[in-house]
Structures are given as structure tokens and as C-alpha cells.
Amino acid sequence: MPKNIKNNTLKEILDIILYEAPSTQDEIADKLNISRRYVTKLLKPLIDNEVIKKAYVVDLKKFNEISEMYETNHSVPEYSGEFFIKQMLKEMGEQITKQFAWSFEALKTNDIDLAQKALDEDLHTNHMYTKIKSSTDTVISLDPYFEFNNTLMFNEIAYDMERIGDHICHIPKFVIEENKEVKEPVIDVLEEMYEMSNTMFQKAVKSSLKFDANIKEKMDRYERELTNLQKLATKKISSQMAKDEIDKKNSTYYLVLFRV
């Protein structure tokens, strides 16, 4: 491998592999509007040195070892294995925020098409988790002591975010299966819960990537406020349920709404 690799296209290819999980080199070529042959040429030295593994997973430890060979407009430390994992976690957080926003908007407007779109986004969220886990597992398998604590922590964060994505799925599933508008005052309380949960999640992701331990007190306060809103929502749903006529058509509506 040459001492210096001054090629922004190769950096773009690595970004696509890390963040977009392409299945083939043709897919990479299409995204960058370049030939597949050129992609193959640029990747060959990295594949030969096992920096890039099967299924286009970057071996972050080996990438660290050769990162000084890359001349880019950015400083070398930014392209360490930890940086790449943090970037993937950041993008996974943004993905879940989008999934959550679409899910709640579908609930507010009883929009089945948007609900299905939000539900489909969970597949992308799951794929991002798999990509992060594959990269961190590769690091651990090659060198169990390499950034061991951080690597395990990043895996845990990715897993927790994937689970949050799964829980968000209850919202669009409710919209699709029940196809019934959630009325005031219940929707008003749920909107407060959504806004607080969304803020809480974004702050938590940002703080975890900065290793900010001072966030705990603020998270505890959010958790208490969210619990109070959950109790209020349950009370409002119960009150509405008592006034409504329960029949076969809406027998599951309130049970699933409690879960939302």
C-alpha cells in the first residue's frame, strides 16, 4: 500500500460503507456516479489488507493502523475507529428522531400512509444497529483490549437505541390497526409526552457521545416529569373509555392506546 493515499473519492466510498451499508460495489458506484471498475480499484488494497471485510464492514482497528496514510482536509485523529463509531451512533440517533417524528405525526393526523412509512423506517434503524455491532465486534475479536470499555459502551448505546426504535413502532402500528382518531384531551397529553421524550432522547445521545456524566441529574428530572405525564394520560384514557360505548369495533382501541 502506498505511503500516502490522497483520494477524496476513497474517503467518500468509506463513508458510504460505514453509514449506508451498501450490498454491492455497483451500489457504491451508482451513489458516487463513478464506474464500478474504479470502485474496485480503490478498494482492492484495503480488501487485500483486510481493512474491509466481507459484506463491506470496515475493520476499525486496521483502519486505525493505516489512517495516517490518508491525506484529507481533516486531521488524522478524527478518523480513528472511535470517531467512526461515534458518527454511526450520531446518525442512528438522527434516524430514530425522524422515525419518532413521523410516528407521532401519523398518530396526530391518523395518517395510515405516514404510519406505514414510519414503520418501514424501523428496518433501517435495525440495519444501522447491525452495522455498528459488526464493526465493534470486529474490533473486540481482533484485539479484546483495544478501546475495550468504550467499544462495549458503544455497543450498549446502539442496542438501547435499537430497542427505542422497536418501542416507537407501537405508535404507527396503533394507527394502522385501529384507524381511529385520538381525540382531545388525550392527544394533548400524548403530544407533551412526545415532545419531552424527544428532547430527552436527543440530549441523552449528545451527552453520551461526549462522555458527559453531568447529564444524569437532568435525565432524572425528565424521567419524573414523563412519569407524571404518563399517569395523567392513563387517567384521561380511562375517563374517555368510561364514557365511550365499547363494542367489537373498538374493544382493542383503548387497550392498545394504553400501550402507546
Q: Provide the pLDDT for residue 4.
A: 43
144-148-152-154 Cα dihedral, nearest 10 degrees: -130
Q: Which residues pair with 57 in a beta bridge?
A: 53
Q: Which phi and psi angles does 204 have, rounded to 5°?
A: -65, -45
Fold for the domain defined by 82-259: Methane Monooxygenase Hydroxylase; Chain G, domain 1 (1.20.58)
What pLDDT, on the 0 to 100 scale, is given for residue 240?
85
Q: What is the pLDDT of residues 41-88, one digit of tens each?
A: 888 888 887 777 655 656 655 666 665 555 444 443 444 567 778 888
Does the structure show a pLDDT above 70 at 162? yes
Residue type for position 34: I
Instruction: Check pLDDT > 70 for residue 171.
Output: yes
Selection from 62, 131, 43, 57 nearest residue 92 by Cα? 131
Q: What tens digit of pLDDT does each residue of 180-215 get?
A: 889 889 999 999 999 999 999 999 998 888 878 788
Q: What is the pTM of this model?
A: 0.70
